[in-house]
Amino acid sequence: MNLGNFLLFLIGAHHWVSRIGLGAALIMFGIGVYIGLLRHGDVTRWYRKLVYGVAGLMVVQALMGLAMYLIGGRPFEEVHLIYGFGAALALPFFIFVEVTAKKRPAMGSYLWGFGVLAGILLRAMMTGAAG
């Protein structure tokens, strides 16, 4: 695979991972509302594993963006780089608050986290590709 084909592959993957990430963020936000606000429960083990999964996906997404940048690809607007940086950092901050929280339940951290992540991903999509 030459660099041109690799770049095309990354563009496609980056496009779809952003949509999957946004969908995952909204679903996780909804599950968080159900567990935290409706049932007044705390973060469960499987929920936390899923949070780590989405956080990992965002890191992979940011690395794909970095690889494309290094190959020579450029986003529609430069500020897309800032949103990408924010998307990779958003969840780890709130994971830190949740895992170190002395006051339980702490599902609120992930409601903040996924709310912020969804907003950043939406703006990232609007600035990533032309048209």
Partner 1 sequence: MENIGLPLVLSFVSSVITGIFSFIVLRRWWEKRRPHHLAWGLGLLFYFVGTLSQVILSFIWSPLFFGLWYWTGALMVAAWLGQGTLYLLIRRGNIARNAQMALVLVSIMTLPWTLFLTKFNEAAWKPGSDMTQLYRDEVDADGNVVREGIMPGKASGTVRFFSPVMNTWGTVLLVGGAIYSAYIFRRKNIMRNRVVGNWLIALGGLLPAMGGALIRLGDPSFKYIAELLGAIFIFWGFWLATNAPEDESPIHVEKAV
Q: Rule CB under 8 A: which residues touch partner 1?
A: 77-79, 81-83, 85-86, 89-90, 93-94, 96-98, 101, 103, 106, 108-109, 112, 116
Complex with partner 1: residue 10 or 82, whichever CB lies closer: 82
| Structure-token match 């496609």, residue found | 12
Nearest distance, CB of residue 97 and partner 1, angstroms: 5
Closest contact distance (angstroms) between CB of 1 and partner 1 is 32
13 vs 73, beta carbon nearer partner 1:
73
Quote the tokens at residue 31: 């599950």
Contacts of 54 (CB under 8 A, 6+ apart): 21, 24, 25, 28, 91, 114, 117
Tokens, residue 28: 């996780």
Minimal distance, residue 25 CB to partner 1, in Å? 15
Helices (H), 3-107: 3-32, 45-71, 80-99
